[in-house]
Structure 1
Amino acid sequence: MATADDNQSDTEFSPAVSLEALEETGRELVSIDGTPLAIFAHEGEVKAVNNRCPHMGFPLVEGTVDDGILTCHWHHARFELSCGDTFDPWADDVQTYPVEIRDGTVYVNPNPERDLPPAEHWATRLETALEENLRLVAAKSAIGLLDAGVEPEEPIGTTIAFGTQYRESGWGSGLTILGCMTNLLDDVDPEDRKRALYTGMRHVADDCAGEPPSFDQPAFDTTEVTFSRLKSWFRDCVEVRDADGAERCLRTAVAADYSAAEIAELVVAGATDHPYLSNGHVLDFANKAFESLEETDWEHAETTLAALVEPLVTAARSDERSSWRQPIDLVALLEDTYGGNVTETSGLESLAAASGKTDTDEPWTPPADLQETLLGDDPEAIVDALAEAIRQGATTEDLSAEVASAAATRVAQFGTANEFSDWNTVHHTFSYANAVHQFARRTDAVETYRGVFDGALSVYLDRFLNTPPAPIPTPGENDTGRDPDAVRQGVLETFDAEGEVNEAGRLVAEFFDCGGDPADLRQTLGHGLLREDAGFHTLQNVEAAFRQAELATDEREQRQRVPLIATARYLAAHFPTRREAEQTYTIAARLNRGEAIHEAAKSN
């Protein structure tokens, strides 16, 4: 921290206290130019520090000085008195001030040159927050960095680099949450952008706490490997659960400068060689990894992609689960369509070739009864409808959007008489379907069709959770003429009480019927999400719903409504919470504004 400088001019110093008075009391509190200073006489020297403890703002003048150490009496943070450095990483260093003694008076420079500008200081503190899993420090860092004008991509990149390096088990919920929060930044207001960044940071830190670090496998020395061969190697390694070999293949793909679309094809192939891996989490993790890379201009490509390997090779495979085999063998239906095996694509390639579609042809239009079929109880009809759609020229993006819409409907119509944990069942299908849709927008790999079929059959398996189905209001049914802003406030209020699931969905429909702007609704839902102690699935659900609503075409307004109705119901089912994270965020915000936490908060 800043200390006395012989080159400082006399005009930079201001009289603070008489030396005699200071030596008599041992400490004095003074304010110079609005800066509260704690001045101590200790071991024959005079030292000055900022009176606000950098941890939570308690007055340090009320602390104890012993053996050159200043100890705050609130949380017992300790500081080396002469330079202000802390013994405790959770506390931060305290600012010190140059002191001079002139004619029996203590003079202090209240405006010394800072060691680091705010952006660098908070970047350093973010690293400490991640390493030590310190939530308050993470919140302070998120607020401090954005207030200093730092673009979110910088702390996001720092957090990705940390999360991929210090978690041996690879990409997990923490990094996925960070990806979700990154995607929400443009949907929420400026203050909630800080909350979103904090949410991602703290979940990554928590996910890495106590984990051993990851030790990298290098890329192959040669990059002269054809893409088809590298893809074959990668799939073979994933199939036999060979993490080291799979990682080397992925790193080699990056080193060989294969395109983002080609690398996406590589990952999709490995992630769909068996249906619906780990309840859909594997492909969703991969999607968030790619979205994170896209946000940070592929800055951490090798380590990010390598982090996907462990979830891939350890995944639970749905073709080994009884629910996919009995009473109807869904895997056999897939094998017949794919080409004889779940890892095949020859059957899908034949279907696509049969369409004879060219880029100049009219876009495929879904049959009027396709959604009804996807939400029906006949898996053969579902598979046949999708196969016929491919013959008619439907692309992976076309069909993945249809399946994602059906999956959103399952959430929107989830019956509250079901067990509470089954919210996660319909959610898993929805987040998986969204991931397939996003991958279909970055690669036209034929393997993506497998994700479409897998997602559709998961929608089928969830059918009993819509028995009876919660009604989805039709457009115009709730046109009350109310101010859309008042309706938005009503949506937020449903999260303050338990049991408001259906009312939350109805209010979203009313908001649309009253002419509200979907962007305003997303901002409100985002705020409702970020003030709560939302869990992994809840954070995923909102982000997926926002993406699906945004991708819906204007001509199909119900496609915009249903995902937001679905996520509002999901939020209402899981809220309110204790809001502990919001308490930490509020403390951090007050501290960064210079408020005294030990005093009552000022009313606005």
Structure 2
Amino acid sequence: MTGFERVAAADAIRESSPQVVSVGGRTVGLFHHEGSFHAVDNRCPHMGFPLSEGSVDAGVLTCPWHHARFELSCGDTFDPFADDVPTFPVEVRDGEVYVDPDPDPETPPADRWKERLEHGLREALDLVIAKATLGLDGADVPPTVPLTVGTTFGADYRRDGWGSGLTTLAAMGNLAEDLRPADRRRARYVGLGAVADDCADEPPFFAQDRLATDRVPPDRLIEWFRETIDLRDADGAERVVRTAVAECDRSTLAAMFVAAATDHRYLDSGHRLDFVNKAFELLDRIGWEHADRVLPTLVPALADADRAEERSSWRQPIDVAGLVTDAAADLPDLVAAGAGRTWTEPEDFVERLLDDDPHAALSALTDAVAAGASADALARTVARAAARRVAQFGTANEFRDWNTVHHTYTYANAVCGLAARTDAPETYRAVFDGAVSVYLDRFLNTPPVPLPDPDGDRDPDATLTDLLETFEVEADDTVGRAGRLTAEFLASGGDAARLKRALGEVLLREDAGFHPRQNVEAAFTRHGAVVDDDPAAARLHLVATARYLAAHTPTRREGEQTFRIAERLDRGEAIHEA
């Protein structure tokens, strides 16, 4: 009888079932059904309603609130949206009912919540994903565990491969350090939910086997990968990727993907290179032992991508695709000329990239390469120019045109990320593509919205309060106001880390969707990368993303409501009560 506690007389339960008893600090529903006694946690695992108010028929306990059904003797649920309800051992001795309120768990909490997360992903159940995210955190499981579960699920269960879900998961992982501690769990929930949505009702992904040989040099693997992608041969490209993962280092893998993704111009409005960068970033977090599972998922969309040189905007009235091709052809000589030289960025360099003449922008870049500029340094300048397009976007344009400047910006951020991984000369081609996209976006700055020029004499606390209120309303000047207040906060000595936490909180509470999540993550990344060397450029990135975020808020906040329900249940609150 060790661990068992007396709870009631057996005859009393037979005459009046169910009854609610308190035992071992738990509230337990005690049932007598078909000659047997059963003890279950009285909180429905779905949303906490008292199961003692439910009904029992043919061994099935049904919660009256959302009709979740449970097998009474073991607690297993019949309904995917509900968890299994905990049950407790019952003994009847000398006419008395005893319950053990603390039996040894069959599954450790960390393993149980990991299983629940996998279940939530399979069924695309936001509340289950939220509960599992909180449960894993409460069990002191490292954040890499849910990230790994989400990554491997997303890699295995979407036939088209890497998509917006895994990109969102990677972005949320990147944001974590800039968020309030309380928001880091919310960010994981957002990323995992995006993976589930992206994979819902999709057939699984089956990657091709690697090539059996281990005698192919890296240069040949890169050559094969470029050729198969060029021919849109996804199957062949997958075999090459899996071979390269086994044989090549990370820098070579980055060079291989950059080369294939820049043999054609600005694939899928920049998404393909951005997805490559996010896959590499996510592997940095969860471990490169998963590369064989993750990197092949990039191939289908890369092989099937829309190629910008096939668009009229890249061919008429100026053949900008041809300009990039010509500049790329000169890269061997340009890189050789710049070897051993140190490049210093001219003061007007970004203005040249924003010029109305694409020849001027590309000439500025090729001259810089010949002067010793690295692809990493030039990528940063293109990202700054792309941020200007967002910061000066004219709201008289159609709303969907926000996406145009956004795509250029997140593409430029991806180029920065990949340029830091590989010194392959093809990375310069990605820089050139980004610069051309900046040029093509010029009409969305016609006329350009002036950049904020604040006095810097306001109280930062009051300014931040006003900024947060801006995201709560829709008004004609919401976008402009968000940019001005962000600039004013920073100019008045406001802490950029505090601003990021506030913007992150706004992002996560909204049903922001894919693009705002991308945008904020890119801005935070670029701000962190340049704040020590170029504070003015760092401020620009935050002003730009504040404007973009303001354009996409407020929303219905359905996801936030689900997460708050999960938090209240995690705290044991009775959410069915007023």
For normalisation by structure 2, the TM-score amounts to 0.98
Q: Give the whole-Å Cα distance in 1 for the aligned partners of 2:166 and 2:371.
A: 39
Over the matched positions of the two proteins, sequence identity in percent amounts to: 57
Q: For structure 1, which segment, 33-42 or 320-329, has the greater mean C-alpha deviation from structure 2 after superposition?
A: 33-42
SS class of match (2:19)? strand
Q: Give the whole-Å Cα distance in 2 for the aligned partners of 1:55 and 1:355.
A: 64
Residue 295 in 1 paired to residue 285 in 2? yes
How do 1:562-573 and structure 2 match up within 5 A?
Answer: 562-573=540-551
Residue 486 in 1 paired to residue 465 in 2? no
1:355 matched residue in structure 2? 338
Deviations 1:83-121 (A, max 9, x none): 111112221111111112233222212222222222111
Q: Give the whole-Å Cα distance in 2 for the aligned partners of 1:317 and 1:582.
A: 37
How do 1:165-564 and structure 2 match up within 5 A?
Answer: 165-256=156-247, 258-339=248-329, 347-357=330-340, 362=342, 364-474=343-453, 477-482=454-459, 484-499=460-475, 500-564=478-542
How many Å apart are 1:224 and its aligned residue?
1.2
How many Å apart are 1:191 and its aligned residue?
1.4
Q: Give the whole-Å Cα distance in 2 for the aligned partners of 1:63 and 1:73.
A: 5
Question: What count of residue pairs does the alignment treat as equivalent?
Answer: 576
Letter of the structure 2 residue corresponding to residue 562 of structure 1 = L
Residue 594 in 1 paired to residue 577 in 2? no
Letter of the structure 2 residue corresponding to residue 259 of structure 1 = D
Q: Give the whole-Å Cα distance in 1 for the aligned partners of 2:116 and 2:123.
A: 10
How many Å apart are 1:335 and its aligned residue?
2.0
2:100 matched residue in structure 1? 109
Give 5+ residue unaligned stretches, structure 2.
Answer: none
SS class of match (2:75)? coil
User: Which runs of structure 1 show a deviation greater than 4 angstroms over 4 or more consecutive aligned residues?
Assistant: none
Instruction: Tell me, yes or no, if the aligned pair for 2:386 and 2:438 is still in contact at 8 Å.
Output: yes
Q: Give the whole-Å Cα distance in 2 for the aligned partners of 1:527 and 1:299.
A: 33
Q: Give the whole-Å Cα distance in 1 for the aligned partners of 2:328 and 2:207.
A: 35
How many Å apart are 1:295 and its aligned residue?
0.8
Q: Give the whole-Å Cα distance in 2 for the aligned partners of 1:578 and 1:87.
A: 31
How many Å apart are 1:555 and its aligned residue?
4.2
Letter of the structure 1 residue corresponding to residue 202 of structure 2 = E
Q: Give the whole-Å Cα distance in 1 for the aligned partners of 2:304 and 2:464.
A: 43
Q: Give the whole-Å Cα distance in 1 for the aligned partners of 2:539 and 2:97.
A: 68
Q: For structure 1, which segment, 103-112 or 397-406, has the greater mean C-alpha deviation from structure 2 after superposition?
A: 103-112
How many Å apart are 1:78 and its aligned residue?
1.0
Q: Give the whole-Å Cα distance in 2 for the aligned partners of 1:182 and 1:540.
A: 12
2:129 matched residue in structure 1? 138
How many Å apart are 1:553 and its aligned residue?
4.1
Letter of the structure 1 residue corresponding to residue 495 of structure 2 = D
Instruction: Tell me, yes or no, if the aligned pair for 2:207 and 2:297 is still in contact at 8 Å.
Output: no
How many Å apart are 1:126 and its aligned residue?
0.5
Q: Give the whole-Å Cα distance in 2 for the aligned partners of 1:473 and 1:254.
A: 47
Letter of the structure 1 residue corresponding to residue 313 of structure 2 = S
Letter of the structure 2 residue corresponding to residue 558 of structure 1 = A
How many Å apart are 1:481 and its aligned residue?
3.7
The correspondence for 1:585, drawn from 536, 545, 563, is 563
How many Å apart are 1:229 and its aligned residue?
0.8
RMSD, matched Cα: 1.1
SS class of match (1:505)? helix
Letter of the structure 1 residue corresponding to residue 510 of structure 2 = E
Instruction: Tell me, yes or no, if the aligned pair for 1:478 and 1:509 is still in contact at 8 Å.
Output: no
In structure 2, relative to structure 1, the CA distance for the partners of 1:478 and 1:103 (3 Å cut) is: farther
Q: Give the whole-Å Cα distance in 2 for the aligned partners of 1:132 and 1:485.
A: 43
SS class of match (1:388)? helix
Letter of the structure 1 residue corresponding to residue 562 of structure 2 = T
Letter of the structure 2 residue corresponding to residue 571 of structure 1 = L
